[in-house]
Amino acid sequence: MATRNKVAKAKSKATAARAKSSAKKSSKKVVKLKVKKPAAKTAGNGLPRLSSKPFGQAGRALEGVRILDFTHVQSGPTCTQLLAYMGADCIKVERPGVGDITRGQLRDVKGADSLYFTMLNGSKRSITIDSKHAKGREILDRLVQQCDVLVENFAPGALDRMGLTWEHIHKLNPRMIVASVKGFGPGPYEDCKVYENVAQCAGGSASTTGFRDGPPLVTGSQIGDSGTGLHLALGIVAALYQRIRTGRGQRVLAAMQDGVLNLCRVKLRDQQRLKHGPLTEYSQHGEGVPFGAAVPRAGNDSGGGQPGWILKCKGWETDPDAYIYFITQAPVYATPPARLPRLRQIFDTVEKWTETKNKFEAMEILNKYDIPCGPILSMKEIAEDESLRATGTVVEVDHPTRGKYLTVGNPIKMSDSPADVRRSPLIGEHTDEILRKVLGYSEKEVGDIKQSGAITAPDKPAKAEAA
């Protein structure tokens, strides 16, 4: 018992000593080091902080976005080139030894890529891959994992035949956006191949273009191909923005018929108005010509309520483009009912004056009176227009095999995102670079890939698939 008491007292003394020591330590002043907080990435309201860099020096709009470009000919390349101009890294996938079929179409310089190709594929990188080769399919899968958007305008079903179904792509990369141009949307014609003029006819443009006593006409503007490519680019940017919220990609479809119809919406407007009476702003109404069941071809009539026509200017006898478009706002005929029966008289009178001026002189004088007008500019005049070059609408670039050529720059001007307009790539020019820097293949692996034939032209290259 005495022994246990001694042990207990000893433990009690030891506990007291530890407590006393602890109390002394706690009485000392504790100095805490201030941890430097990282700079806030947001402005406190969830939005990014304002850039401190001057306008135009904070990077391009789509910097950091990587495009897997399976496009060819015109509609798809229009879309991806615009995205590349805005800063996206656009990787164009081409068949070894074949490439985009337009490289050799309408060729004007022997041995060089055609202007058809170079003017639709600027600011891109090119890699050649045989999609039918096992190693080639492996490379494609890696690209799918490393890219944000896949863009294609193959014939219906071609992407699936390559093994790149939506399910396969989405499994490899749930964030991937798959964007497609097709001729028609879902319906009886969705499996049909479509080219520019077919789209113009199916989308309502041709039936409403030309003069009423002549056949339907297609327009010189590529509203079927390039127009649909522009629609697709908008869909892609919208899908990228939505992905910020959802974290997942989606499919984006732009049908050429739909794109043309969107650009012809005023004619669909007129079709509905026609049910309630004649289209009074059309010149044929003023001439007493009855309307049929469908919107007619209206020659050079304006699409709005102000009648317009193309008038001859000085030199029209020898210059096919010596004309000006003139919209009448004659005060004597201040209302449409007063003007329409006399349109021919008005235009004939004005034309007697425009024939004494060249189109630029006429435009300068008419603009002083706020009369809407515009010269008929030839492609030669546009190519030589210094103001268009100054704004970057027309750009001269240098190509290693064909030399300098003109191309159309970014038609969309952004104050904080300068356009990146560079020449088109040679076929497979960036294959090694992409394999190493984008996909992470080692030197040995790249050598093995070359030996395998997955990125080189076969003995008998396959024929490029039509658009």
pLDDT at 54 over 70: yes
pLDDT at 133 over 60: yes
Query: What's the pLDDT score for residue 380?
Result: 97
pLDDT band per the 50, 70, 90 thresholds, residue 306 = confident
Instruction: Give per-residue pLDDT as tens, 315-363.
Output: 999 999 999 999 886 566 667 677 777 788 889 999 999 999 999 999 9
pLDDT at 4 over 80: no
Q: Minimum mean pLDDT among 136-140, 354-358, 367-371, 377-381: which range?
A: 367-371
Q: At what angle do helices 265-273 and 256-263 cross, to 10 degrees?
A: 70
415, part of any domain: yes
Task: Please enumerate in sequence order all residues whose Cβ is within 8 A of that of 438, keeping only pairs 6 or more positions apart, or say none.
Answer: 66, 91, 143, 146
How many structural domains is the chain composed of?
2
pLDDT band per the 50, 70, 90 thresholds, residue 27 = very low
pLDDT band per the 50, 70, 90 thresholds, residue 40 = low
Query: What's the pLDDT score for residue 39?
Result: 55
Residues 95 and 207 in one domain: yes
Residues 351 and 281 in one domain: yes
Query: What's the pLDDT score for residue 462?
Result: 45
Residues 241 and 279 in one domain: no
| CA–CA distance, 131 with 136 (Å, rounded to integer) | 5
Instruction: Give per-residue pLDDT as tens, 373-423.
Output: 999 999 999 999 999 999 999 999 999 999 999 999 999 999 999 998 999
Last residue of a domain, one of 318, 344, 371: 371
56, part of any domain: no
Q: Which helix (H) or strand (E) holds 180?
A: strand 177-182
**Residue of 235, 227, 233 lying closest to 251 (CA atoms):** 235
Last residue of a domain, one of 342, 371, 400: 371
Residues 274 and 256 in one domain: no
Instruction: Starting at the earlier edge strand, list the strands of the sheet with 89-94.
Output: 125-128, 89-94, 66-70, 149-152, 177-182, 251-255
CATH number of the domain bearing residue 110:
3.40.50.10540
Residues 283 and 322 in one domain: yes
Q: Give yes or no: 225 in active site.
A: yes
The pTM is what?
Answer: 0.86
The answer to whether 296 touches 282, Cβ cutoff 8 Å, is: yes
Instruction: Give per-residue pLDDT as tens, 411-454.
Output: 999 999 999 899 999 999 999 999 999 999 999 999 999 999 99
Residues 430 and 320 in one domain: no
* Mean pLDDT for all residues in the chain: 89
Query: What's the pLDDT score for residue 303?
Result: 73
Catalytic residue among 148, 225, 270, 301: 225
pLDDT at 99 over 60: yes
Residues 121 and 254 in one domain: yes
**Residue of 71, 177, 401 lying closest to 81 (CA atoms):** 71
Residues 133 and 172 in one domain: yes
The answer to whether 301 touches 286, Cβ cutoff 8 Å, is: no
Q: Minimum mean pLDDT among 143-152, 229-238, 252-261, 277-286: which range?
A: 277-286
The answer to whether 163 touches 190, Cβ cutoff 8 Å, is: no
CATH number of the domain bearing residue 307:
3.30.1540.10
For residue 246, the Cα-to-chain-centroid distance in whole angstroms is 23
Query: What's the pLDDT score for residue 342?
Result: 79
How do beta strands 251-255 and 394-399 pair? Answer: unpaired
Residues 281 and 256 in one domain: no
How do beta strands 308-312 and 251-255 pair? Answer: unpaired
How do beta strands 323-327 and 308-312 pair? Answer: antiparallel
39, part of any domain: no
Range of the domain at 95: 66-263+386-452
Query: What's the pLDDT score for residue 46?
Result: 76
Q: Minimum mean pLDDT among 34-48, 154-168, 280-294, 382-396: which range?
A: 34-48
pLDDT band per the 50, 70, 90 thresholds, residue 281 = confident
103, part of any domain: yes
| CA–CA distance, 421 with 60 (Å, rounded to integer) | 12
DSSP SS3 for 127? strand
104, part of any domain: yes
pLDDT band per the 50, 70, 90 thresholds, residue 466 = very low
345, part of any domain: yes
